[in-house]
Structure 1
């Protein structure tokens, strides 16, 4: 399986049972419920009870389990009353109340209404609607719960978490060092090139998180980092500050998703190569900045 995940179809007796079918070492990060496994009804009508049942059965999926079959109405002539101010309105109301296949054969006034006085005391008339009814049947059935979803490995979740943590830490430390450099010594063009890698890493992590959790409004609202060059020394600090805020927000947004599936691992920085020196003040391995290894926390060895 690749790091982007795999689209699969899960089935079970219930939605929870379907979700449990995810193979070990993987988790479901996105799902679309195709069927929840609860009972449903199919209705049919026809001249005879057999015709009605046949039509209802024809609406049941082939893989479904039939739970019950019922004849809900015999064919024949029936009547009921409706309230309306005119005969045409009474017919319209009657036709909207009957089942498919039934026909309103007539509408007759049964009780006079009242026009009232200036609209006060106005009362509708009562009409009797005659209906020729066909046979009606219902079939209750159930299909297995089905989910179309995206599964990813727990390892991939851990990689995304560690990447988001690393981006947030690196941008924060980069900004701290950048603020310590006098404005006159900041080269916007050079810093744009140097910072382009962090922007690419952030945008890639954001794109993957959006693909895994497309319904997260926070991720949708979080804009990718602009790849344009910094315009000035002050703009350099401003843009990196925005990047730090975005990186922190990305980390806050994805952590609840990872915690929800559990077992994602991650959270620890990868070990530094043995030949990279560390900061003597306990801030971890030195990192390249302006062509020189420095501590991104305190600025060692320059400070």
Structure 2
């Protein structure tokens, strides 16, 4: 079954918001209805268990996130998942040097594949703690020995954030896998993230990307548009669309579990806040994960057929 269109969901939320503002629903009733419908005690129980025992091995100041996603490509959903860890290396009052490591499991041409991402980053917090800037360097490797590196820059505040990543393949320009020739593609992506007014638990994410073709007749360029919604301090829901000029328009959804708990309002705390954009310190965000494409983007050539495999 295809995922519910993202635009329809956003429209429904704004209609519900208008009803609350107009007095058609009591605030607590609206929030209670949503939380009762979307969340279950099992999710909170699993998240608490994760924090209390399973991830206690991480050094102080670390963060972890486990994500389960699916992409609807028209012929059915393609599930994939990953676990990402951000671990401090060195920290001062207003700066952080950190390692980010991620392990991914996904499908390429109906075959399961594992990939790893190893990165190091540096972030500098502003004196008033309203924003930070950062840079990072990553090395990506999958189970078929495809390799890639990336360089990234980022800006983050509590209201809006932006970052850009430049990706370059490493090693041989091609790799033979199960009789097919794979090419790791060079490219870039730019991400812009903004908080929804009066809803600090909801963010809109726009991604512009381009991948340079090796064999295909044209580069793959397109955009992603998604909503990320913190249902509780631990649980985030993501729903969005991915549209480019090579493959069909795809819809995706994901559920993530974070450790430690997020120090910001969630849907569980209420649908609206009294201020459109509450002013908060982003010190707690210094150890957030870098937003980037963690799946190696490849072209697969076999029997004269080229298939662009996109994230």
TM-score (ref. length: structure 1): 0.21
> Which structure has the larger Rg?
1
Report the structure, 1 or 2, having the larger helix content: 1
Richer in strand (by share)? 2
TM-score, scaled to structure 2: 0.21
